[in-house]
Amino acid sequence: MPDTAPRTDVDWSRIADALAPVEVIDDPVTVKKRSRDFFWYSPILNAELRRSFGDLVVRPKTRQELAHVLAVAHAHGIPVTLRGGGTGNYGQAVPLQGGLIVETTAMNRILEIGEGFVRVEAGALMADINAALIPKGWEMAMFPSTQDIATIGGFVAGGSAGIGSVANGPLREKGNIIRLKVLSVEAAPVEHVFDGEEALRVHHAWGLNGAITEVTLRTVPTRDWVGCIAGFDSYRDAYSAGYALAAVPDAEIARKLCSVVDARIADFFPRLDAHVPKGRNLLVTLVPREHLEALRALVGGHDGVLHLAMDEAERQAAKLPHVFEFAYNHTTLQVLKSDRSATYQQIGVPDPADADRVARMRARQGEDVWPHHEFTRGGGTIYCADLPIVWFSTPERLAEINATYEADGFTVYDAHVHVIEGNHMQPDYRHLAWKKRLDPRGLLNPGKSLEWEKVRHLSADEIERLGPSGPNATET
Ligand SMILES: Cc1cc2nc3c(=O)[nH]c(=O)nc-3n(C[C@H](O)[C@H](O)[C@H](O)COP(=O)(O)OP(=O)(O)OC[C@H]3O[C@@H](n4cnc5c(N)ncnc54)[C@H](O)[C@@H]3O)c2cc1C
């Protein structure tokens, strides 16, 4: 295990002086708040991480200021944790060994909008990027349900998929990330450029192997989207409709969201009370206006009813949240607003087309596990992840729930682990080879990679030769 003890031998006021003219926040309340992300979704991570705090928050406004911060950290050998909006779920942005929390939200300029791409600074909020793109006829190919408060740098470094991924694939799908610019942590930090497939060396590396300064992403033509919620008596019917919607050709229904939510979870959505009857299993989606009738027919064909269909203007007039705030990990948040004993898990569905197997698993798991499925597509294949609400009682019961999934071939990507190799993922040594090149002293987000502690004594090329593996799209 890595040494996760914070440094006690540092004169932080001296470090703050060295960081000038970059904005530094040393107010203990703010530093504590910025040391947290959404790890508290997990009672296990909450117990492990709630006492891990940084020492100073630093807010660079330009890449020159960021380079200065990284040079100071290198000179003094102090840990650096990059932070965007702090919406990650696994303590990704929690400083385990104290040090600098480098918040990127002041580096937020939208630099260029072109035919099929957008180039932005890493701290730009995704809602702001979409707001700039839409009047020009474009939108992000995908974004997380946290777009209002999450940064593009945090999404690329910590996220995997989102609204749009059922049409355009996850972030790692070829062509979605066009270019990343990344600063090293050295005496004189160098900006490296990662194009195309090379960008996957930095994507989903949890800020371990460089500070992303600039992101160029694929964009897609925007459409007149209608947010829709359909209701079904049975979960199996809702799931089957979801699968059919994910599988239908884009030319027939170009959905950019396809989420299925258990009726027991939907009962925790009071904002929908005036629009959606209680006790219904839901299909939550966004379709272009011209495909609304085709969606209505698909829903009817699975014994469902389309209860809600609102375009953006109607949604705002009705003072409703976006429909995607009843999808992805916002489902967990909606339940947690009423009852803090809820948590969740991340499950890969072995055969998304097999609705019977999904229905059997729902019955087998019992009353403390309520399913919620997200469909995505990658390389033309349909994937499905279950992000169930789990009513947490004990770690032993959680292990039993996981074992029940695994016994029937479902994969558990454990959401209750705070190391990058922990969510049932193979270590990606290509990430760690770049860490060796860009962060040779191992100052970035220390304690988050167990494998790094084993290989850090090797050269970058030796680490690279240990082989590749990829992060999984199930994480949210
Ligand atoms: C309610 C809820 C819903 C969510 N829905 C989704 C979803 O739909 N899809 C999804 O993929 N995720 C989802 N997430 C997880 C998370 O919101 C996303 O991954 C989000 O994009 C993270 O962005 P952020 O700015 O908050 O990153 P942070 O939490 O601030 O950081 C995430 C990781 O990236 C690193 N990092 C941040 N900025 C940089 C940088 N400039 N350079 C290098 N490393 C950096 C951090 O050190 C950390 O390891 C959800 C989380 C919540 C709480």
Q: What is the pLDDT of residues 104-145, one digit of tens each?
A: 999 999 999 999 999 999 999 999 999 999 999 999 999 999
Is residue 157 within 6 Å of ligand 1 at its C-beta?
yes
Is residue 160 within 6 Å of ligand 1 at its C-beta?
yes
Read off the tokens for 317. 């007039």
Give the type of residue at 379. G
Is residue 89 within 6 Å of ligand 1 at its C-beta?
yes
Question: How far does residue 311's CA lie from ligand 1's centre (Å)?
Answer: 27
Is residue 154 within 6 Å of ligand 1 at its C-beta?
yes
The answer to whether residue 4 scores a pLDDT higher than 90 is no
Q: How confident is the model at residue 472 (pLDDT cuts 50, 70, 90)?
A: very low
Predicted confidence (pLDDT) per residue in 176-201, tens digit: 999 999 999 999 999 999 999 999 99
Peptide bond into 352 cis (omega under 30): no
Provide mean pLDDT across the span 144-158. 97
What is the pTM assigned to this prediction? 0.96
Q: Which atom of ligand 1 is nearest to the CA of 155?
A: 21
Give the separation between CA 282 and CA 258, rounded to whole angstroms.
10
Nearest CA to ligand 1 atom 17: 87
Q: How confident is the model at residue 470 (pLDDT cuts 50, 70, 90)?
A: very low
The answer to whether residue 64 scores a pLDDT higher than 60 is yes
Give the separation between CA 51 and CA 311, rounded to whole angstroms.
44
The answer to whether residue 331 scores a pLDDT higher than 80 is yes
Nearest to 208 by CA among 185, 177, 181: 185
Burial class (CB in 10 A: 0-12, 13-18, 19+), 149: middle
Is residue 39 within 6 Å of ligand 1 at its C-beta?
no
The answer to whether residue 355 scores a pLDDT higher than 70 is yes
Give the separation between CA 212 and CA 183, rounded to whole angstroms.
6
Q: Which atom of ligand 1 is nearest to the CA of 126?
A: 21
Give the separation between CA 308 and CA 320, rounded to whole angstroms.
11
Question: How far does residue 35's CA lie from ligand 1's centre (Å)?
Answer: 14
Q: How confident is the model at residue 471 (pLDDT cuts 50, 70, 90)?
A: very low
Q: Which residues lie below 8 Å from residue 129, measured CB to CB, with a gap of 6+?
A: 110, 118, 120, 140, 143, 152
Calculate Rg over the CA atoms of the chain.
22
Read off the tokens for 155. 């999404």
Rounded to whole angstroms, what are the CA distances from 443 to 210, 320, 369?
10, 43, 39
Residue 19 C-alpha from the chain's centroid: 30
Q: What element of type H or E holds 284? A: strand 281-288
Is residue 170 within 6 Å of ligand 1 at its C-beta?
no
Is residue 161 within 6 Å of ligand 1 at its C-beta?
yes
The answer to whether residue 469 scores a pLDDT higher than 70 is no
Strands 56-59 and 100-103: parallel
Nearest CA to ligand 1 atom 28: 86
Q: How confident is the model at residue 2 (pLDDT cuts 50, 70, 90)?
A: very low
pLDDT at position 247, please?
97
For the chain, the average pLDDT equals 95
The answer to whether residue 425 scores a pLDDT higher than 70 is no
Name all domains of the chain by residue range, CATH numbers in brackets. Answer: 12-103 (3.30.43.10), 225-344+347-412 (3.40.462.40)
Predicted confidence (pLDDT) per residue in 48-58, tens digit: 999 999 999 99
Is residue 144 within 6 Å of ligand 1 at its C-beta?
yes
Is residue 345 within 6 Å of ligand 1 at its C-beta?
no
pLDDT at position 424, please?
61
Q: Which atom of ligand 1 is nearest to the CA of 107?
A: 41
3-state SS, residue 193: strand
Q: Which atom of ligand 1 is nearest to the CA of 211?
A: 42
Predicted confidence (pLDDT) per residue in 260-318, tens digit: 999 999 999 999 999 999 999 999 999 999 999 999 999 999 999 999 999 999 999 99
Q: How confident is the model at residue 474 (pLDDT cuts 50, 70, 90)?
A: very low
Provide mean pLDDT across the span 466-473. 60
Q: Are 327 and 474 in contact (CB under 8 A)?
A: no
